[in-house]
Amino acid sequence: MCSCVVLVVGMVAAINIAVPMLAASPLRPSPSALVWIVDTYVIFFACLVIPGGAAGDRFGRKGVLLAGLILFAAGATLSAVAPNVAVLLAGRAVTGIGAAAVLPNTLAVLLHAVPAERAGATIATWASMTGIGGVVGNLGGGAVLTAGSWRWLFTAAVPAALLLAVLTARVTPVSGRHSRPVDVLGTVLLVGASVALLLGIVEGPERGWGSTAVVGAFGCSAVLFAVWTVVELRSEHPLVDPRLFRLPGLRSASIGMTAVFFGMFALFYVNASFLQYAMGFDVLLTGVGILPLTVPIVVGARHVGRLSRRIGVVGTVAAAFGFVGGGLLGLSTSDGNTPYVCYAAWLVVTGIGVTLALPTLSAAIAGSLPPAQAGVGAGLQATTREFGSALGVAVIGTVLAGSAGTRDVATAFVSGTRTGLRVVGVTVLVLGALVVAEAWAARRPAPDLRGDVSGRRPHAHLAPRAGRPARCPYARRDP
pLDDT digits (tens, 9 = 90+) for 346-362: 999 999 999 999 888 88
User: Can you tell me the distance from the alpha carbon of 322 to that of 374, in angstroms, rounded to the nearest whole number?
Assistant: 30
pTM of the model: 0.79
Where residue 300 falls among pLDDT bands split at 50, 70, 90? confident
Q: What angle do CA 273, 275, 276 make, to 5 degrees?
A: 65
Helix (H) or strand (E) holding 178: none
For 322-331, what is each residue's pLDDT tens digit? 999 999 999 9
pLDDT (0 to 100) of residue 123: 78
Contact between 61 and 108 under an 8 Å Cβ cutoff? The reply is yes
pLDDT (0 to 100) of residue 449: 43
Name the 3-class secondary structure at 346.
Answer: helix
Per-residue pLDDT, averaged over 461-469, amounts to: 43
Per-residue pLDDT, averaged over 221-239, amounts to: 90
Helices then strands, counting H and E runs in the chain, come out as: 17, 0
Q: Is 287 exposed, middle or buried (0-12, 13-18, 19+ CB in 10 A)?
A: buried
Where residue 469 falls among pLDDT bands split at 50, 70, 90? very low
Residue whose C-alpha is closest to residue 393's, from 293, 287, 274, 265: 265
Q: Is 417 exposed, middle or buried (0-12, 13-18, 19+ CB in 10 A)?
A: buried
In angstroms, what CA-CA distances link 201 with 35, 194, 418? 10, 11, 19
For 415-431, what is each residue's pLDDT tens digit? 888 999 999 999 999 99
Per-residue pLDDT, averaged over 97-102, amounts to: 93
Where residue 465 falls among pLDDT bands split at 50, 70, 90? very low
User: Can you tell me the distance from the alpha carbon of 140 to that of 167, in angstroms, rounded to the nearest whole number?
Assistant: 21
User: Can you tell me the distance from the alpha carbon of 316 to that of 66, in angstroms, rounded to the nearest whole number?
Assistant: 36
Compute the mean pLDDT over every residue in the chain, rounded to the nearest whole number: 83
How many Cα neighbours within 13 Å face the side chain of 349? 18
User: Can you tell me the distance from the alpha carbon of 355 to that of 352, in angstroms, rounded to the nearest whole number?
Assistant: 5
Per-residue pLDDT, averaged over 393-408, amounts to: 74
The rounded Cα 245 to chain-centroid distance in angstroms is 19
For the segment(s) 2-183+237-445, the CATH number from 3.30.390.10, 1.10.240.10, 1.20.1250.20, 3.40.630.10 is 1.20.1250.20
Helix (H) or strand (E) holding 140: helix 119-145
- Ranges 110-114, 350-354, 377-381: which has the least confidence: 377-381
* pLDDT for residue 473 is more than 80: no
